[in-house]
A = this chain, B = another copy of it.
């Protein structure tokens, strides 16, 4: 493959001049420029970008490590991140942790190795020496969706307490006296928070949350199926179930269908994370809607602030409870 030296030789010029032509440097004669262009054409020369980025660091790419690409929340997040990043002149390359802390660390390494300008991370584990190192190393990092105790990193996420409280009120109003939860991993801040919010909200109604009403999944679909089965297999199954993310809600739904139960009458189901198709299931599924797009955009803005040397701050964005019919009572005009 032709190098800049070959071009220089072919054009009878120095590599410095060729480089100037390549980078649109003003002080090059039109004639010289043409000669270089010609040599480039003839030799089918393509600059080696490894050499290029070695010399002058790449500042155009951001890294995004998501919890699980298959999770629509994260893919929508990825799209939002990308759109906002492009508006600021950055590209985004994505690594998929698949909810596996080891994979997360690997992609973290790869992206750092590749010298991305900054990192957006949805941490998949509470403790990761690598993450801690990266943060302490002073690299520009923003956490998205999840935070890690003890690490002073800007976090952009949803505030789960209010909407979960609203959901519990909704459930209790419909007569559910012993709702269950399919929680996310308690090792993740989102898992913990949603569970705690659920428990606390029930407590205000004088309702406890015994172990028989809690199952812990991993935010992926299969764990939702298993959790729902386990809940329904009890002597006194719950009348309502709150799945802490959309994939586990889908899994729960699969189980409900397996058993031939009717949603909303035999068993109530609600989900953290709203999805377009929740509206089209019969009956439509009540869900807590996150401002996914806004989360992504805000996170990018904070990261860009960091990159520009400005201070960044954390955000807990509000959610809305979208009440539909899956918890028992058809709510007219439920959207909103």
Contacts and interface: CB of A to CB of B under 8 A. Distances in A.
Interface of A: 41, 44, 46-54, 58, 61, 69-70, 72, 75-76, 78-79, 82, 91-96, 98, 106-107, 109-115, 133-134, 136-137, 221, 250, 253-254, 257, 276-277, 279-282
Contact of A257 (B91, B136, B280): B280
A contact patch SS: helix
B115 A96 contact: no
A281 B285 CA distance: 11
Contact of A280 (B47, B134, B137, B253): B253
A69 B75 contact: yes
Contacts of A78: 69-70, 96
Number of this chain's copies in the complex: 2
Contact of A98 (B53, B70, B79): B79
Contacts of A46: 109, 112-113, 133, 137
A50 B115 contact: yes
Contact of A94 (B54, B94, B106, B280): B94
A44 B96 contact: no
26 contacts: A44-B133, A46-B109, A46-B137, A48-B113, A48-B115, A49-B112, A50-B51, A50-B113, A50-B115, A51-B54, A52-B113, A54-B54, A69-B79, A70-B75, A72-B72, A75-B75, A82-B98, A91-B95, A91-B107, A91-B110, A93-B107, A114-B114, A253-B280, A254-B279, A277-B281, A281-B281
A309 B252 CA distance: 46
A49 B250 CA distance: 41
Contacts of A51: 50, 54
Contact of A276 (B49, B134, B250, B276): B250
Given A69-B94, A70-B79, A79-B69, A137 B44 contact: yes
Nearest to A43: B137
A44 B61 CA distance: 21
A221 B280 CA distance: 15
